[in-house]
Structure 1
Amino acid sequence: MTSSSGARIVLDPFVTDLDGESARLRAAGPLVEVELPGGVPVWAVTRHAEARQLLTDKRMVKDINLWGAWQRGEIPADWPLIGLANPGRSMLTVDGEDHRRLRTLVAQALSPRRVELMRERVAELTAGLLDGLADRSADEVVDLKAEFAYPLPMYVISELMGLPEDGLPRLKVLFEKFFSTQTPPAEVLATLAELGGLMGQVVKARREEPGDDLTSALILASDGGDRLTDEEILNTLQLMMAAGHETTISLIVNAVVNLSTHPEQLARVRAGEVGWDAVVEETLRWSTPTSHVLIRFAAEDVPVGDAVIPAGDALIVSYAAIGRDEEAHGPTAGEFDVTRSPNRHISFGHGPHVCPGAALSRLEAGVALPALYERFPDLHLAVPGTELRNKPVLTQNDLQDLPVRLH
């Protein structure tokens, strides 16, 4: 493998400087050889135009069996990122007609019309969480991620899927292990097995007592014309649970950090000069919730500018680098600017595999952020922004915590 810069960049598994690392990726060229945890070499696309090209190129496929390193046994079964690279058969890992079949039901459940019908419930859950923070004193430090940004999307996605609320604490622990680059090898397969078992319990319960939820719809489809297998149902549920809460958590957290560290931008929003939808879109671009998306495979040699992805090699999409691409967003791409227009980012993906939950994530953030600042207009960080630390999660731009004072 030879990148457009000729040098391999080792991605930091502890994510200690995502902005700096993303800048180095962009500077190295649109197609860069990188190393994932465990010494696994892959390509990364780091620029907007090239990412759009590759995300619609039918030669870049989701079938892990085309990955040369996988065929040669170089990727161990307990690799920390195996659950993201090979999560089983679902709409994330297939292409063509199979992808359309699996995606259709999820897309119907998350259509803009159906998502809009959820606005009242999202507002109700938001108000309840804010009520729980109302008695905090002016000098008390609150972890806004743990007490607001995390539970809101978890409640929303669990209700959408028909998951019991009493199972959410255990799911939190399991998904933290699922995403982390630091999960011990001995726990990787056990984590995947337990997640599969919990999803299986949900499917069993919904078979016995169907409801108006996504799980019941998938089960109904398995008995009808769409012909979903049990494996496809379980993997789709796990995928939706993982993607359905992590992205929105990071979106809300990052928006609060961005506004707190750019008070002049917050003032314009509070004055009504700029809408909250602009805050959401600029946060998605400038501090995208998803830093790297794993993984596609070249079915044949795929040229990208002056470089080539050889057949059998793997590709990740580095959205954290792409969001600040000056060729796409101009010379101010490195600045957070809620007045930016147009703001044509691709932080939810592009092409056939674009995130089907984008409308729901936007709705949740669009409800949560104005309600948060209306209730607590003096909200501010309890530590300097430079002291905030990312979790060791290579795929998510996710903070360890968000210490704030509400008053």
Structure 2
Amino acid sequence: MTDDSRFILDPATRDMHADNEHLRAAGPLVPVTAEGVPAWAATRYATLLAVLTHPDLSRELRHWAARQAMPPGTAIDRIVTDTSMLNAEGERHRRLRMPLTAAFSQRRLNGLRPRIEELTVRLIDRLAGMPPDEPVDLRLEFAYPLPREVISELIGIPAAHQEELHRLTDAVAQVGGLEDSPELRKELHGLLDQVIDERRDTPGEDLITDLFELHEKDGGRLSEEELFATIELLFIAGHVTTVNLITNAIGALLSEPDQLDLLRSGRCPYSAAVEETLRWDSPIAYFPMRYAVRDVEIDGVRVRGGEPVLACFASAGRDPDQYGEHAHRFDLTREQITHLAFGHGPHFCLGAPLARLEGEIALGALFAAFPGMKLTTPLEELPPLDTLLGNSTRAMPVLLGPRAR
């Protein structure tokens, strides 16, 4: 804590979960500084649930009294100034979200499953061609390319643009050597805008086409700016967090062989591994912001109108008040693996079913293919992502061992 009792959230912390223990011990709503922004941090499960659903807390930026003092170019700046449904409320949020529900319907997911399985097999075949006794970074070579390819196909990114688009999103997902930056984000948005413009004349069975058709039929439902912002949000958010989910699950299972045995023996399904990873090591660490529309009291703490509240997803996932004294343990046998990793209420993540499906398919295939796989470095020694938003490691180096016959 600093002299004014504000906890400084460090994007480069080596132990985010230890930081979160301190936050939970300090209270349900804790004054913090995040990328230079003073805010309240919702640290515990029940508090976060209240914050996500409270009628007097809004995602609309206009309610933030001190927004002019926000440092430019930060991760928080990128999120809170997004003009898509991410920061919309009420009728505008429903209007922007409704056209997308069909994209993530059970029918469309059922249609995607064979393609996800095919892409997974292709990646595993590629892994099998690498030396089995040399380190392989599974974040770079497996956890990242799978959701990237899936979202590219779902949205409808033309093959001619995929290489350059993937080069830029490498940095967003923090794989490879390119660093994320405001300039890179500007280049990425410009390329996405070019893709969307070009797709006007090349319709297909994809989300860009669906949204263009809706725009043409009912121009009042999605403006041009909203259409572009929506597609950009879905492309970036639609795969980066799934990279973290798959990476974190691999690390957890390779660190806990008894838990991995539960999966391999069939005593637990791989869906349990996905859900417990989402709880125990949420792909999102901290997510900005919700703003008090008026003075409000939450768990005995007074939040004044105009003040921002930060959602602490990774902290809530290990809250002993919700999960008991062993909340810090990765345990697939929990009777009920509930979590808030996808949010709650009207802003619940649209892509949650797709992320779950990708995670389940990817983990099942990977651990079946390489039964002798092991980490080359203990999980706690791997460098974390240097960001407040994402929670994962920058790499997941393993020795694959021979492929199962």
With the shorter chain as reference, the TM-score category is over 0.9
CA–CA separation in structure 1 for the residues paired with 2:170 and 2:387: 9
**Structure 2 residue aligned with 1:220:** 213
Deviation at 1:172, TM superposition (A): 4.4
Q: 2:66 aligns with which of 66, 69, 72?
A: 69
Question: Once the two structures are superposed, what CA deviation does each residue of 1:118-158 show, in whole Å capped at 9, x if it has no partner?
Answer: 11000000000111111222321101111111000000000
Question: Once the two structures are superposed, what CA deviation does each residue of 1:205-246 show, in whole Å capped at 9, x if it has no partner?
Answer: 221111111111111111223621111111111111121111
Deviation at 1:176, TM superposition (A): 5.8
Deviation at 1:199, TM superposition (A): 1.9
Deviation at 1:175, TM superposition (A): 4.2
Q: Which amino acid aligns with 1:135?
A: G
CA–CA separation in structure 1 for the residues paired with 2:71 and 2:170: 20
**Structure 2 residue aligned with 1:135:** 129
Distance 1:78 1:133, change over 3 A: closer
Give the unaligned 5+ runs of structure 2: none
Whether 1:26 aligns to 2:20 is: no
| TM-score (normalised: structure 1) | 0.93
Q: 1:249 aligns with which of 243, 260, 263?
A: 243
Deviation at 1:346, TM superposition (A): 1.2
Distance 1:19 1:165, change over 3 A: farther
Contact 2:173–2:243 at 8 Å: present in 1 too?
A: no
| TM-score (normalised: structure 2) | 0.93
Q: 1:82 aligns with which of 63, 73, 77?
A: 77
Distance 1:270 1:184, change over 3 A: closer
**Structure 2 residue aligned with 1:108:** 102
Q: 1:36 aligns with which of 24, 34, 37?
A: 34
CA–CA separation in structure 2 for the residues paired with 1:166 and 1:293: 34
Give the unaligned 5+ runs of structure 1: none
Q: Which amino acid aligns with 2:39?
A: V
**Structure 1 residue aligned with 2:316:** 322
Whether 1:203 aligns to 2:196 is: yes
Contact 1:284–1:347 at 8 Å: present in 2 too?
A: yes
CA–CA separation in structure 2 for the residues paired with 1:175 and 1:33: 33
**Structure 2 residue aligned with 1:384:** 378
Most deviating of 75-84 and 269-278: 75-84
Deviation at 1:253, TM superposition (A): 0.7
Q: 1:171 aligns with which of 165, 173, 180?
A: 165
Whether 1:54 aligns to 2:48 is: no
Q: Which amino acid aligns with 1:21?
A: D
CA–CA separation in structure 1 for the residues paired with 2:159 and 2:30: 43
Question: Once the two structures are superposed, what CA deviation does each residue of 1:265-315 show, in whole Å capped at 9, x if it has no partner?
Answer: 111111111111111110000011111111111111121111111111111
Identity of aligned residues (%): 40
CA–CA separation in structure 1 for the residues paired with 2:400 and 2:150: 24
Contact 2:75–2:389 at 8 Å: present in 1 too?
A: no
**Structure 2 residue aligned with 1:309:** 303
* Count of matched residue pairs: 397
Deviation at 1:25, TM superposition (A): 1.4
Deviation at 1:192, TM superposition (A): 3.7
Q: Which amino acid aligns with 2:343?
A: G
CA–CA separation in structure 2 for the residues paired with 1:305 and 1:131: 52
CA–CA separation in structure 2 for the residues paired with 1:206 and 1:228: 17
